[in-house]
Amino acid sequence: MNKALMKAVKEYLVLLLVLGLVLITAVIEPKFITSGNMTNIMRQFGPLIMVAMGMTFVIIGGYIDLSVAGIMSLVAVVTLSLIDPIGQVGAIFVGLLIGAAAGFLNSLVITRSGAMTQAEGLFISYGMSVLYGGTALLYTGGVTNHLSYIESNYSLFTLIGSGTVGIFSVSFIIFLFLLLILYIFQNFTYTGRAICLTGGNKTAANLTGINVNRTIIIIWTISGFMAGVSSIVLFSRVTTASPVLGKGFELNAILAVVVGGTSLKGGKGSVARTVLGAMLVILLSNSMNLLGVTVYMQNVMKGLLLILAIWLDNLKGRR
């Protein structure tokens, strides 16, 4: 019985931590459970969770994607600048296309260079992030643009950023839709299962008939596309498109993925569990804000949480 209980606790540890955090914060600070704060939390769900869901596939596949920060910045500034010339729908389409294309370009650089290890992919993605971020700065001249500067209608972005359907924010509904698509893709398609095999052992995956290069292209393209979606949701909420908009999102996304139980060694993970990891990261930040914890201490707590998650992942690997 005790072994069964311990197994259940390990299996649902992140969920228990989320519930425990909610309960403790609600007791200490009653404002935490107000409808206004719940709506605010749901709006925060969008950007981070979307990046983290895309990052999940890259990490399962045996890599880490640091380029999402640069992709988010580039998508934001280009999308906003295109609203006047081609309209809202056209601008969003181009923004999503840029995100997917950037992820695809990452995969081409990785596969063509023969970068099959996590370390090689990590530094390539960092270089690509600098490239995309630098392009965003060149595109804008380093200037931050605002939705209020747009002369034509931008109501669709206002809806994405602050609209609600009942008690749910529009960004939360977008997240639920994308989660459903990615969950089905991961668990009920051949390619979704191939990603785990590729991340676990690329040589073995190749010997079993899996097209490893094709799988690598798919995971990086998904990550780029999700970074593009996240960028559009984020700048719609903050109403500004900065050439450094995505700064810090790559680290928070990695934190959410690892805390959610995806192994940094690759080959094992779940997009659904990443959502729980992101929820814990978001709720932790929200709780500390309400309790008056400084930003510096919040960064310390996030760092400790990441170290703990990696340590526990290594313990599981040894066992």
Q: What is the dihedral of CA 230, 274, 43, 156, to 10 degrees?
A: 30
Q: pLDDT category, 99, cuts 50, 70, 90?
A: very high
pLDDT at residue 317 above 60?
Answer: no
Contacts of the segment 288-295: beta carbons below 8 A, 24+ positions apart: 290/25, 290/29, 290/31, 290/32, 290/37, 291/25, 291/28, 291/29
Question: In Å, how far are 3, 161, 227, 228 from 234, measured between CA atoms?
Answer: 44, 7, 10, 10
pLDDT of residue 12: 62
What is this structure's pTM?
0.90
79 vs 4, more confident: 79
5 vs 62, more confident: 62
Cα separation, 316 vs 214, whole angstroms: 30
Handedness of CA 22, 27, 33, 38 (dihedral sign): negative
pLDDT at residue 8 above 70?
Answer: no
pLDDT, tens digit, for every residue of 101-148?
999 999 999 999 988 888 899 999 999 999 999 999 999 998 888 988
| Residue in the block written with tokens 């606790």 | 9
In contact, 91 and 31? CB cutoff 8 Å: no
Neighbour tally for 56: CB within 10 Å = 31
Q: pLDDT category, 217, cuts 50, 70, 90?
A: very high
Question: In Å, how far are 113, 180, 316 from 124, measured between CA atoms?
Answer: 10, 30, 29
Question: In Å, how far are 11, 22, 284 from 251, measured between CA atoms?
Answer: 24, 23, 15
Calculate what percentage of the chain has a pLDDT beyond 90.
49
Q: pLDDT category, 9, cuts 50, 70, 90?
A: low
DSSP states of 212-256: HHHHHHHHHHHHHHHHHHHHHHHHHHHSEE-TTTTTTHHHHHHHH
pLDDT, tens digit, for every residue of 43-87?
666 788 999 999 999 999 999 999 999 999 999 999 999 999 999
pLDDT at residue 154 above 70?
Answer: yes
In the chain, domain spans? 46-272
> How confident is the model over 221-247, as a mean pLDDT?
93
> How confident is the model over 182-201, as a mean pLDDT?
92
Cα separation, 82 vs 205, whole angstroms: 42
Chain mean position to CA 82 = 24
pLDDT at residue 149 above 70?
Answer: yes
Q: What is the dihedral of CA 108, 111, 112, 115, to 10 degrees?
A: 120
pLDDT of residue 210: 92
pLDDT of residue 10: 63
**Backbone conformation region of residue 166, classed left if phi is above 0, alpha if psi is from -120 to 50, else beta:** left
